Amino acid sequence: MEKGSVFAMALEQLNSAAKLLKLDDNILRVLSHPERELTVSLPVVMDDGNIEVFTGHRVQHSSARGPCKGGIRYHQNVTLDEVKALSTWMTWKCAVVNIPYGGGKGGITVDPTKLSDNEIRRMTRRYTVAIMPIIGPHSDIPAPDVNTSSETMGWIMDTVSMMRGSTVLDIVTGKSVELGGSLGRREATGRGVMFNTIELLKRLDKDPKKTTVAVQGFGNVGSVSADLLSKEGCKIMAVSDVSGAYYNPNGLPIADMIAYCTTSKNRLLEGFSAAGISKISNEELLQLDVDVLVPAALEKQITIENAEKIKAYAIVEGANGPTTPDAERILIKKGKHVVPDILANSGGVVVSYFEWVQSIQSFFWTEEEVNKNLERVEVDAFDAVWTLAQREKQDLRNAAMMIAVDRVAKAVKARGIWP
């Protein structure tokens, strides 16, 4: 396993839960290995006529509880190790909120900011055909992730439909509403972060209107989380993206910042200014004296190097794997509450499930129905995790992992090992 392996992080979390559950070693061995790993080469004709060859991956961790489900990301740091970890976390994420999916994940090693829209589209279609043998509405259903969007999902859906000769709406989720997407899907992950944050504040007897928040990452998850938390009365004191971090002790104008990003270069905050705002470093944002920290960027942001300096009493993981196990031990020893990624950012896959159901039935819900059902699922899941944590005197990650791993393990046992 490569040095600094993200998959090793995922296995460490699994092993911790397995010990607490006294899980059968045979079942643990099954759950420690993804069912399928596919790596593909993607030759793409670039706009200048040259051919570039990109590397793509699709990993299916577990189909014990249903079709595999998970996003596709385009990022220069994508590796097979990372995709394996993300697919494993997706298995637990689906199980902890009790939807009938297993974990999958995909990605292409590419910096999309260096490609034109046409080049990205051609790369997406080539990748789709390359992974088509293992994806399908009842086997593996992709969705958007880092640097992919509803437009990307539309290209994937169209490619599969052209190859199969009929429209296949339920091959992906996170599509535009015009192509059978669900109302409320774009905001779903951030809305789930908001629901989990508010539920935690209730348990800690804290008033959202007296709560300060810092959000690392201002993509889809971070921006929506910041916006919805501000609407609940929280004061958003800092946000960041790859262009830097923006801080105002009196609170940031989140709606204005979101509007700015709709027309800015690469949809970044770079160049945004308003009264009272100062630029700070990403490290300074993580270490701000706020009540709640929402790491909503990439994995391994809170590490053993900076964990001691985290002042927030609550960390709500908007990203996947933003806190290393060593760092989390430090945070918990200091009495902090970490709402784990598999619970905190599960809103996206919950509404993806709703979208899949709607596509299969060709019967679509109102946005109010989507959001109401999402709130019910998220609040029920948080309550189950919190209750188990209190009863077993465990932190929230161990409690969430115990619930998730137990559900998947029971499914594996019930099915038996074939042949």
Neighbours of 312 (CB within 10 A): 21
Distances (CA, A) of 357 to 105, 354, 360, 363, 408: 20, 5, 5, 8, 21
Please give the Cα distance from 52 to 206 (Å, whole number): 53
Direct distance between the N- and C-terminal alpha carbons of the chain, in angstroms, rounded to an integer: 29
- The residues assigned a catalytic role are 105
Q: In the chain, count of helices (H) and strands (E)?
A: 14, 12
How many whole angstroms separate alpha carbon 250 and alpha carbon 231?
A: 15
What six digits make up the tokens of 66?
Answer: 């249903």
Interatomic CA distance for residues 309 and 288, integer angstroms:
9
Cα separation, 91 vs 86, in Å, equals 9
Kindly give the pairing relationship between strand 36-45 and strand 51-60: antiparallel
Computed on alpha carbons and rounded to an integer, the radius of gyration of the chain in Å comes to 20
Q: Which of 143, 152, 180 is nearest to 346 (CA)?
A: 143
Angle at 216 between CA 344 and CA 310, to 5 degrees: 85
